[in-house]
Structure 1
Amino acid sequence: MVKRIKVGMASCGIAAGAGEVKEKMIEMNPDAEIVEVGCIGHCHAEPLVEIETEDGSYFYQEVEPEEEFINKMLNLEDYSRFESPANREKKEKLYVTELAGKINPISIEEYEENDGYSALKKALEMEPAQIVDEVKTSGLRGRGGGGFPTGLKWSFLADKDEKDKVLICNADEGDPGAFMDRSTMESIPHQLLEGMLIGAYATGANRMFIYCRAEYPLAVKNLNIAIKQLEEAGYNNLNGEDVKITVKEGAGAFVCGEETALIHSLEGKRGTPRFRPPYPTDYGYKGRPSMINNVETLANIPLIIRDGGEKYSQIGTENSTGTKLFALAGDLEYSGLVEVPMGITIGEVVYDIGGAEEGSVKAVQIGGPSGGCIPEEHFDTPIDYDSLTELGAIMGSGGLIVINKGRCMVETARYFLEFTTKESCGKCTFCRIGTKRMLETLERITGGEGSHEDVQLLSDLGDKIIKGSLCGLGQTAPKPVLSTLNFFKNEYMAHVDEGYCAAMECTALVDVYLDQETCIECGQCIKVCPVDAISDDFVVDNEICTRCNSCIEVCPVDAISRVKREEE
């Protein structure tokens, strides 16, 4: 007998049509208990629906808002039954996200039924210094990308003998393809807030902010509802004093992920970084000592207090403890959110969890748009802060993009550098002008006009930008270029010496060719061409063609392809 129906209504589910599924289920079963839950990480299978019965739970994937489909599902038929891939089950460790997708995100009662706020109650019976020591013992490092020891940062704020102190949650998450923090806030907002309250008590903070990008409306909505619920329950009363929590919506500037730029934006100023010292724990929001932690960092805190720092430290590696959330995207089968123990290898994540085809992958880009590209021969590298740094990459906040062998690494580097160039606040010369010059150089190379001097210039400029930039954006922006130069220099030289892009991605170096012997003259290519570059006798005019690939995508017999550009 069906007891309850859970519909995955995080952003990934909504985008896949979960809202329509829910409405249809309510229409067909007006008396049924249908609840919205967050994301279980399998974004590739959305919309996902869980049917709870007296005998257990049954998951269904790619659910359609049709009566026939829904009836089969409610009758627990095998049709479209979802089961997590076996390799993923073995490799994942759901710790921070153990409640994600299983409880109603905006039900404080359901969170409490699952041990929610028990860690806060335990913390309030401890001395603040004991909590800080517990976090130090856990070995937790900042999950926002820097990897600074969390307990040490907390001690800096706790040691400040001032009345007004501020705790800030950095939920800006501006990396393309990254959605770890968004999913956490949408799925388990109370867990984040519990971690913040514990942090406030441990450090003496009496004001809290969550700086969240405005492009996350569902996360903002769930957080505000959860804040109201915990205030009504009195959880924000830390030993006699109410702590106010405010969600501040940012405008989406990537640079505001940097601590001092975030604080400036929070104060209503332009989001630009400043020199440090003084550090935010000395001089932060409106001159008050302030501490900034990432969403994932704070979501770990209730688990550390609940289970103890020593137990937490046994997960992962000696210098990189605990688990890490990754947003898997790119050329793989199972895109979505995963949680893995630190120390797992890149290959295990890409192949065993992501389901990428063995032998098809060229590299992964890890650490966001300013992370590095790591080639397949290094996939036995463990995922931890130190090992990734040695390869010229960074952990970052958790974006991991799989790149197959059909991709051009020069174009990949250009794509990511274009993003960071646009997102530079412009305050320091090396970042403002240096990244622009690097981008222009990459555009010359991908356009077939590059030289050996250009390749050397990229290397020289990259090193100077890293050393001369004020904040983390400029200090890491050249990494996609420098790492691809290190591991895929042959592709750069092919572009320069031969005017050749093996992946046929650099449009200035390729022509579109229509094989008339294969062509069946169906006319589909002519219909979809936006610039009328294909004649009635099925010849492509490459002077007009924009290389949009529309004709290649619709051709039923694969008669159209990209080929090396003909020499003029």
Structure 2
Amino acid sequence: MQVLVCGGTGCTSSASHQLREALRREIKARGLSSRVRVFKTGCFGFCKLGPLVVVYPGQILYCRVGVPDVREMVERHFAGGKVVERLLYREPATGEKKLRLHDVHFFQAQQRVALRHCGLINPEDVTEYIACGGYFALADVLLHQTPAQVIETVKKSGLRGRGGGGFPTGKKWEMAAAAPGAEKYVVCNADEGDPGAFMDRSILEGDPHSVLEAMAIAGYAIGAAEGYIYVRAEYPIAVERLERAIRQAREQGLLGRRLFNTGFDFDIDLRLGAGAFVCGEETALLRSATGQRGEPRPRPPYPAQCGLWGKPTLLNNVETYANVPAIISRGADWFASMGTENSKGTKVFSLAGKIMNTGLIEVPMGTTLRTIVFNIGGGIPHGRKFKAVQTGGPSGGCIPEAGLDTPVDYDSLRRIGSMMGSGGLIVMDESDCMVDIAKFYLQFSQDESCGQCTPCRVGVKRMTEILERITEGKGEMSDLDELADLAREVKDASLCGLGQTAPNPVLSTLQYFRDEYEAHIRDKRCPAGVCRALLDYVIDEEKCVSCGLCAKNCVARAINGEKKGRPYFIDRQKCLKCGVCAAHCPQEAIYTA
């Protein structure tokens, strides 16, 4: 019997490491060590319900398992052969128990390529990766294919960059291979900075060798002997597992000199980033990797022509590389059979926000937003209504309910004012203010701007100031035209992708939720009840039972009344609009107007 315990960041933060050790101790104490083994894996994807445990044979899925559950699990299931039903997953809509991992609808609707090993193997053991066919693709290209054949396979597959831009991967490899010079580099962009995004982190934590193997294949294809992974230091588990994977690959002769007894040398090292969002832009990343300030530069020349230390450099992101070994092993036609005409294969997304099933998913390109949000994601919790989904992080747009049937691919999202981005999907419901959401993303872009070019440095700040006025009830209708004009100017004139895409949340919310902007300006009202400056807290006299808890917790002493006497009321002149009174009211008698 094999017991797989998730060791991704989400489950680790819920003490899955303590759970693993408790399971091992209890199994040993009961004399079951010879037939029951506990393994650490990467992320299963069902992050909301962690720590997750999957038991083989049977693929029995247990959710929210804690150390107190260990004795019952070992005694009842591992020793007695009976399932612990209270730990099984229940479908939210029906309450129906699901016994096996693939009985859960969240997993049924997915198709895993980049995530093919995550949650199945121990990412800290290279032999498990090899047992699943790992490094066979590298051996095949080194022993049986020319660099040109490898590039042609990647081109034929239709793989496009999964970092956001969607540039054809094979074409980029071809450009790097054709660039003159004997010294070239392969770089992996693992600087994942979008709020709510954790796709690349999960791949590095769950299947680091797939990225190492792909980089070695890329090195052979373009004629490079060195590779670097630029990963943010805020990913300690990913960094630790990458370091271990590189060390193990070297010990097995899978990195280093004369790989597979050929004349090909290739090794990989890490470069840790400090978390600057702008370093996700390729030229800024390459400058940062060499110890310089992370600032973008004009292109051309492109990194494939002049990159790391001025040498031709191939740069792809984590998810792009993770697809490569599977493409080499199973063929370009297999990969191209998935997805749409111009967007082949699958895409990994992180689901976050107001959605039932937060977590990590992988679906074929062309899957609709409706399928992702309501089928895989389980819809909106607490019976609330869907309002919008943000795709592409700070660089993307907010898509309303009318756009839910949009296929998720590069071209379709761009047509409706958003973008694929690296794959973050943040779902919003009726309690979210779209003006406030636009302000949040714009403030993020302003904070993360390197400040090098005036359109981004000054233009984004001016836009943020306008949004702040509007959310404070000081806006005018002319602000909307000024906001749109500024957005277009910043978009057209900024140097790099950060500035060029920073206005997208503003432009999309202006397009689809203009009525909310107008309500903030004309009516001095926030329809979602989010913008504090536009709120008034009111006590419903019919519901108020004069318990006095609201007055007791009001630091501004803005609430008056008589305990067990007449209903309490709020002095609007003193009210700080903090909402503490509403949070403490047992009768829910306090509301915003």
Shared fold, TM over 0.5: yes
Aligned counterpart, 1:309 = 332
Aligned counterpart, 1:260 = 283
Q: Are 2:438 and 1:419 equivalent residues in the alignment? A: no
**Whole-angstrom CA distance in 2 between matches of 1:380 and 1:286:** 45
| Counterparts in 2 of 1:533 and 1:34: CA distance versus 1, 3 Å | farther
Q: Are 2:154 and 1:135 equivalent residues in the alignment? A: yes
Between 1:463-472 and 1:504-513, the stretch displaced more is 504-513
Q: Secondary structure at the match of 2:230?
A: strand
**Whole-angstrom CA distance in 2 between matches of 1:525 and 1:103:** 53
**Whole-angstrom CA distance in 2 between matches of 1:409 and 1:521:** 36
The offset of 1:434, in angstroms, is 0.2
**Whole-angstrom CA distance in 2 between matches of 1:423 and 1:106:** 33
Whether the 8 Å contact between 1:315 and 1:341 is mirrored in structure 2 is: yes
**Whole-angstrom CA distance in 2 between matches of 1:39 and 1:349:** 19
Q: TM-score scaled to structure 2, two decimals?
A: 0.91
The offset of 1:14, in angstroms, is 1.2
Aligned counterpart, 1:99 = 117
Aligned counterpart, 2:93 = none
Aligned length: 559
| Counterparts in 2 of 1:478 and 1:23: CA distance versus 1, 3 Å | same
The offset of 1:544, in angstroms, is 4.7
**Offset from partner CA, 1:48-70 (integer Å, 9 cap, x none):** 012224xx231100112105554
Whether the 8 Å contact between 2:137 and 2:325 is mirrored in structure 1 is: yes
Alignment partner for residue 365 of structure 1, among 378, 382, 390?
A: 390
Whether the 8 Å contact between 2:351 and 2:359 is mirrored in structure 1 is: yes
Alignment partner for residue 382 of structure 1, among 403, 407, 422?
A: 407
Q: Are 2:187 and 1:168 equivalent residues in the alignment? A: yes
Whether the 8 Å contact between 1:73 and 1:79 is mirrored in structure 2 is: no
Q: Are 2:230 and 1:211 equivalent residues in the alignment? A: yes
Whether the 8 Å contact between 2:114 and 2:323 is mirrored in structure 1 is: yes
**Offset from partner CA, 1:475-524 (integer Å, 9 cap, x none):** 00000000000111111111111111110111100012233432344555
**Whole-angstrom CA distance in 2 between matches of 1:88 and 1:273:** 39
Matching residue's letter, 1:123: V
Matching residue's letter, 2:121: I
Whether the 8 Å contact between 1:64 and 1:70 is mirrored in structure 2 is: no
Whether the 8 Å contact between 1:212 and 1:248 is mirrored in structure 2 is: yes
**Whole-angstrom CA distance in 1 between matches of 2:72 and 2:157:** 47
* Cα-Cα RMSD: 1.8
Q: Are 2:568 and 1:552 equivalent residues in the alignment? A: no
1:5-16 equivalences under 5 Å are: 5-16=3-14
Q: Secondary structure at the match of 1:332?
A: coil
The offset of 1:531, in angstroms, is 5.4
Q: Are 2:77 and 1:64 equivalent residues in the alignment? A: no
**Whole-angstrom CA distance in 2 between matches of 1:13 and 1:541:** 46
Alignment partner for residue 46 of structure 1, among 50, 73, 87?
A: 50
1:77-476 equivalences under 5 Å are: 77-82=84-89, 83=98, 86-124=104-142, 125-236=144-255, 237=257, 238=259, 239-357=262-380, 360-476=385-501
**Offset from partner CA, 1:544-564 (integer Å, 9 cap, x none):** 54444344334332122222x
The offset of 1:234, in angstroms, is 0.9
The offset of 1:160, in angstroms, is 2.1
**Whole-angstrom CA distance in 2 between matches of 1:176 and 1:317:** 27
Q: Secondary structure at the match of 2:83?
A: coil
Structure 2 unaligned residues grouped into runs of 5+: 90-97, 563-567
Between 1:90-99 and 1:130-139, the stretch displaced more is 90-99
Aligned counterpart, 1:566 = none
| Counterparts in 2 of 1:262 and 1:546: CA distance versus 1, 3 Å | farther
**Whole-angstrom CA distance in 2 between matches of 1:534 and 1:526:** 5
Whether the 8 Å contact between 1:164 and 1:288 is mirrored in structure 2 is: yes
**Whole-angstrom CA distance in 2 between matches of 1:227 and 1:524:** 59
**Whole-angstrom CA distance in 1 between matches of 2:573 and 2:21:** 50
Q: Secondary structure at the match of 1:329?
A: strand
**Whole-angstrom CA distance in 2 between matches of 1:247 and 1:472:** 25
| Counterparts in 2 of 1:359 and 1:28: CA distance versus 1, 3 Å | closer
Same amino acid, percent of matched pairs: 46
Aligned counterpart, 2:83 = 76
Q: Secondary structure at the match of 1:369?
A: helix
**Whole-angstrom CA distance in 1 between matches of 2:533 and 2:489:** 29
Structure 1 unaligned residues grouped into runs of 5+: 564-568
The offset of 1:542, in angstroms, is 4.2
**Whole-angstrom CA distance in 1 between matches of 2:574 and 2:41:** 50
Matching residue's letter, 1:110: E
Whether the 8 Å contact between 1:344 and 1:382 is mirrored in structure 2 is: yes
Aligned counterpart, 2:39 = 35
**Whole-angstrom CA distance in 2 between matches of 1:297 and 1:285:** 20
Matching residue's letter, 2:472: G
Aligned counterpart, 1:25 = 23
Between 1:111-120 and 1:250-259, the stretch displaced more is 111-120
Between 1:30-39 and 1:174-183, the stretch displaced more is 30-39
**Whole-angstrom CA distance in 2 between matches of 1:313 and 1:470:** 34
| Counterparts in 2 of 1:219 and 1:129: CA distance versus 1, 3 Å | same
Whether the 8 Å contact between 1:63 and 1:69 is mirrored in structure 2 is: no
The offset of 1:203, in angstroms, is 0.9
| Counterparts in 2 of 1:540 and 1:38: CA distance versus 1, 3 Å | farther
**Whole-angstrom CA distance in 1 between matches of 2:234 and 2:501:** 24
| Counterparts in 2 of 1:531 and 1:170: CA distance versus 1, 3 Å | farther
Whether the 8 Å contact between 2:546 and 2:561 is mirrored in structure 1 is: no
Aligned counterpart, 2:94 = none
Aligned counterpart, 2:95 = none
The offset of 1:87, in angstroms, is 4.1
| Counterparts in 2 of 1:250 and 1:526: CA distance versus 1, 3 Å | farther
**Whole-angstrom CA distance in 1 between matches of 2:546 and 2:158:** 65
Moved over 6 A (4+): none
**Whole-angstrom CA distance in 2 between matches of 1:530 and 1:296:** 50
**Whole-angstrom CA distance in 1 between matches of 2:552 and 2:225:** 64
Whether the 8 Å contact between 2:73 and 2:84 is mirrored in structure 1 is: no
Between 1:94-103 and 1:261-270, the stretch displaced more is 94-103
**Offset from partner CA, 1:151-190 (integer Å, 9 cap, x none):** 0000011112321101100000000000000000000111
Matching residue's letter, 1:176: P
**Whole-angstrom CA distance in 2 between matches of 1:340 and 1:116:** 22
The offset of 1:463, in angstroms, is 0.2
Whether the 8 Å contact between 1:8 and 1:39 is mirrored in structure 2 is: yes
Whether the 8 Å contact between 2:220 and 2:264 is mirrored in structure 1 is: no
Q: Secondary structure at the match of 1:242?
A: coil
Whether the 8 Å contact between 1:410 and 1:484 is mirrored in structure 2 is: yes
